[in-house]
Structure 1
Amino acid sequence: MYVHSTEEVNTTRYLALDQMTDNPFHLREDNSKNSSMLTLASGLLSDEQFFIIFLVIIYVSQVINNCVIIANSLCIAVFVKLGFSEPSNISLTALAVCDFTLAVLSTWSNLCFWLTYHNVQLPFHSANVSYLSGGVQWAFLSTTVAWITAFISFERCLCILVPLKVRRLITPRGTFVAMLIIVLLTFCPSFFTYVRYTFVWVYNPYLNTTILNTISVNSESAVLLEKLLVAICGVIQPLLAFSIVLICTVLLVVQLRKISSWRMSVTSVKNQRVQAEENPAASSSAAGVKISQKEERLIRMIVAIATIFIVSYIPTCITLLCYVVFDEFNMFGGYRRLFLVSGYILSLGQPISGSVNILIYYKMASKFRSAFRRLVRLDRQQQERHELE
């Protein structure tokens, strides 16, 4: 390892599982503070089982990533075509950009692990380097996605609660600023990870060359910073965003039911007059929840997006809680293998959510559907078919 001072040597340790082996997934005993945890972790998954399961997960993950990349590329193109005069277009574009970036980061990690599995000689330790150059960013960016979804849900709630003031409260410029603030508070702190973990060149005797690897700084300030990042950005922020999405979704569903009930009660002029005469207060309250069909379609679309997000994000919340409760459940602990396998399985929910959004937009948003058809020239093809017939 190339270092420049004795102090740096004393305040760092290898993150590599074993520099004297070709297998980056080899579980070394000194990674675990508890021998019973080591036995449990290694006993649950043998080498053969681990590699088979992990390879299948990588292939499945990459298929989903490809769908996410294609779907969100189309979403971004459509929203750019529609313009950003509507605040919802800005927030939905930001959501599509984040989903696209998540898929790219996941693809990078999958590629590194796939090359490692096939014993491809690389100028870097693929498992550790990909974790710091893709895995960490993926974790922080997933929190960004959670908060953007929370903002979108909250915006729709305001449209219901204060419909006359929402145009002044939620403006295109304000939405753009809100997206920037969310990114600054959720994703940008990921760069502080490099205070605790950093890259270093080490000599690998098996390859007879110097390769890029990672080390961690064990100074008190660096360790304290890591704990704060994990607590705030890794636990509090995601769970808070999840709670906001859940509450706003429930409120939107309840309000949609009220609107549907009200519309059923006033299907005829006669019923409406009777209702106003018998209970003027109820009639006034019902009129207060009346919204345009365009707004109602948008609310239904947001409810669908939020519901899919809630279902797909529950496994991530479980992983975060396990990460906090079990000290060895991390990339470099005794539960390394279980962390990798369970983390990859549970994180599949995020790209699935990102790939389904385009179907929701196409089904529920008429402007998006029209712009999408013009973008892929479906309308022109349909018109040409009619002309030929």
Structure 2
Amino acid sequence: MYLHATEKDNTTPYPALDQMTDNPFHLWDDHSKDSSMLTLASGILSDEQFDIILLFTIFTSQLINNCAIIANSFCVAVFVKLGFSEPSNISLTALAICDFTLAVLQTWTNLCLLLTYYNVRLPFHSANVSFLTGGAQWAFLRNTVAWITAFISFERCLCILVPLKVKRLIRPRVTFVAMLIIILLTFCPSYFTFIRYKFVWVFNPYLNVTILNTIPVNSEFAIMFEKVYIFIFGVILPLLAFSVVVICTVLLVVQLRKISSWRMSVTSTKNQLIQPKENVTGSSSAAEASISQKEERLVRKVVAIAAIFIVSYIPTCIMLLCNVVFDEFNLFGVYRRLYIVSGYITSLGQPISGSVNILIYYKMAAKFRSVFRRLVRLDRQE
């Protein structure tokens, strides 16, 4: 995910595998760039700053990922017990599985980078190999999470806009097929990475061993193909999913507010025409208040889920736009250190979002809370 190899690397061993150094994280800097540009890049983020920030971010990331793995394991277990007769349970289960897988992939990448930092000698170049076995899959699976969230927002929006037709439009089978299509179109293209990069066995004369490494395929087709699919799957699809979530959430909140105001006005008009007795009026007001609270809970639930996604995804959107605007702000550009650190920091939003979702379900979904409490034995099973 973070390293750049060249054809020269097929015969030249990596220093991280041969000798102990004080700054192993920046051993993969691209020294083929102009020296003046490299000096400018180092001035923005020095070796020491790069090491400290990246190490701190890796440990922070792993702590959050551990929480995400545990939280989403419980989410999947609860949704399985609830069953899949409700379409929302299917989409939320798919979301939890993707969040769990993202946390596992990030854990693998963190481990590989730490092995590189501490110069642990393995039969493969840990940091380079993590690019093809973890980093690429993580980036594409993040798109899957974004589009599943967009589908959930769209589904809930339909529940408010066309409540009488939504049960016929979105059934459990339709939701299941939609999840498969989203995974097929957003995650499976991650294997296009193998068109641009490949595994090779590299002999290390210093250690007298052969190790597994990765090198880029520098054919014209592979380079052009990489640019196209990165632009489509790395820029267009994430920003489009983000837009869908924002639009659907705004429509949902506005429509819920309209329905709440309409019901309040109708109830008030009926009370004035009927002129009920004092006790009846009190009863009606209680019912009115109950309706209002129920709708408020629904609004808060939808807004909370969408807000967590939006807040966690905004840094990623900004980084994607910077990647488009600034040519050297990418994995293989002069400012790769800044890009790596920025990427790691923005990636923290995903495990945070995956960890917090369970709290929203627990607080705002009575069935989920009941099953969860029985699952962890907080309540006695009848």
- Matches of 1:377 and 1:163, distance apart in 2: 37
Instruction: Please say if 1:13 is aligned against 2:11.
Output: no
- Matches of 2:254 and 2:141, distance apart in 1: 31
- 1:339 maps to a residue whose letter is Y
Q: 1:29/1:244 Cα in 2 relative to 1: closer, same or farther (>3 Å)?
A: closer
For residues 178-233 of structure 1, give each alpha carbon's deviation from its aligned partner in whole angstroms, at most 9, with x where no partner exists. Answer: 00000010000000110111111112233331111111111122112111211111
- 2:361 maps to a residue whose letter is Y
The answer to whether the 8 A contact 1:24-1:125 is kept is no
- Matches of 1:69 and 1:29, distance apart in 2: 35
TM-score normalised per structure 1: 0.85
- 2:134 maps to a residue whose letter is G
Q: 1:193/1:272 Cα in 2 relative to 1: closer, same or farther (>3 Å)?
A: farther
Q: Alignment identity in percent?
A: 76
- Matches of 2:217 and 2:324, distance apart in 1: 20
Give 1:14 shift. 5.2
- 1:25 maps to a residue whose letter is H
1:29-40 → structure 2 map (5 Å cutoff): 29-32=30-33, 34-40=34-40
Unmatched segments (≥5 aa) in structure 1: 1-11, 275-290, 384-389
The residue number in structure 1 matching 2:27 is: 26
The answer to whether the 8 A contact 2:146-2:238 is kept is yes
Root-mean-square deviation (CA, aligned residues, Å) is 2.3
Q: 1:20/1:60 Cα in 2 relative to 1: closer, same or farther (>3 Å)?
A: closer
The residue number in structure 2 matching 1:174 is: 174
For residues 323-375 of structure 1, give each alpha carbon's deviation from its aligned partner in whole angstroms, at most 9, with x where no partner exists. Answer: 22333323333222111111101111111111000000001111111111111
Q: 1:129/1:205 Cα in 2 relative to 1: closer, same or farther (>3 Å)?
A: same
- Matches of 1:204 and 1:272, distance apart in 2: 89
Give 1:28 shift. 4.2
Give 1:267 shift. 4.5
Q: How many residues align?
A: 353
Q: 1:19/1:40 Cα in 2 relative to 1: closer, same or farther (>3 Å)?
A: farther
SS of residue in 2 equivalent to 1:64: helix
The residue number in structure 2 matching 1:284 is: none
SS of residue in 2 equivalent to 1:149: helix
- 1:13 maps to a residue whose letter is E
The residue number in structure 1 matching 2:125 is: 125
The answer to whether the 8 A contact 1:124-1:212 is kept is yes
For residues 64-83 of structure 1, give each alpha carbon's deviation from its aligned partner in whole angstroms, at most 9, with x where no partner exists. Answer: 00000000000000000000
- Matches of 1:28 and 1:368, distance apart in 2: 49
The residue number in structure 2 matching 1:248 is: 248
Instruction: Please say if 1:354 is aligned against 2:354.
Output: yes
- 1:356 maps to a residue whose letter is V
The answer to whether the 8 A contact 1:88-1:152 is kept is yes
Question: After alignment, is 250-259 or 188-197 more displaced?
Answer: 250-259
Instruction: Please say if 1:314 is aligned against 2:314.
Output: yes
The answer to whether the 8 A contact 1:123-1:210 is kept is yes
Q: 1:269/1:370 Cα in 2 relative to 1: closer, same or farther (>3 Å)?
A: farther
1:1-389 → structure 2 map (5 Å cutoff): 13=7, 19-22=13-16, 23=24, 25-26=26-27, 28-32=29-33, 34-268=34-268, 270-271=270-271, 273=273, 297=297, 300-380=300-380
SS of residue in 2 equivalent to 1:26: helix
The answer to whether the 8 A contact 1:109-1:130 is kept is yes
Structure 1: which 4+ aligned runs deviate by more than 6 Å? 291-296
The answer to whether the 8 A contact 1:152-1:302 is kept is no
- Matches of 1:69 and 1:342, distance apart in 2: 23
- 1:162 maps to a residue whose letter is V
Q: 1:84/1:14 Cα in 2 relative to 1: closer, same or farther (>3 Å)?
A: farther
SS of residue in 1 equivalent to 2:329: coil
- 1:303 maps to a residue whose letter is V
SS of residue in 2 equivalent to 1:203: strand
Give 1:270 shift. 3.6
Question: After alignment, is 348-357 or 201-210 more displaced?
Answer: 201-210
SS of residue in 1 equivalent to 2:203: strand
- 1:155 maps to a residue whose letter is E
The answer to whether the 8 A contact 2:68-2:351 is kept is yes
- 2:27 maps to a residue whose letter is H
Question: After alignment, is 304-313 or 68-77 more displaced?
Answer: 304-313
For residues 15-56 of structure 1, give each alpha carbon's deviation from its aligned partner in whole angstroms, at most 9, with x where no partner exists. Answer: 79x834123622545443x54432222222222221111111
The residue number in structure 2 matching 1:5 is: none
SS of residue in 1 equivalent to 2:256: helix
The answer to whether the 8 A contact 2:256-2:295 is kept is no
TM-score normalised per structure 2: 0.86
For residues 258-286 of structure 1, give each alpha carbon's deviation from its aligned partner in whole angstroms, at most 9, with x where no partner exists. Answer: 23323433454644759xxxxxxxxxxxx
Give 1:293 shift. 8.3
SS of residue in 2 equivalent to 1:199: strand
- Matches of 1:216 and 1:273, distance apart in 2: 78
The residue number in structure 2 matching 1:286 is: none
- Matches of 1:315 and 1:147, distance apart in 2: 17
- 2:75 maps to a residue whose letter is C
The answer to whether the 8 A contact 2:202-2:213 is kept is yes
- Matches of 1:15 and 1:244, distance apart in 2: 43
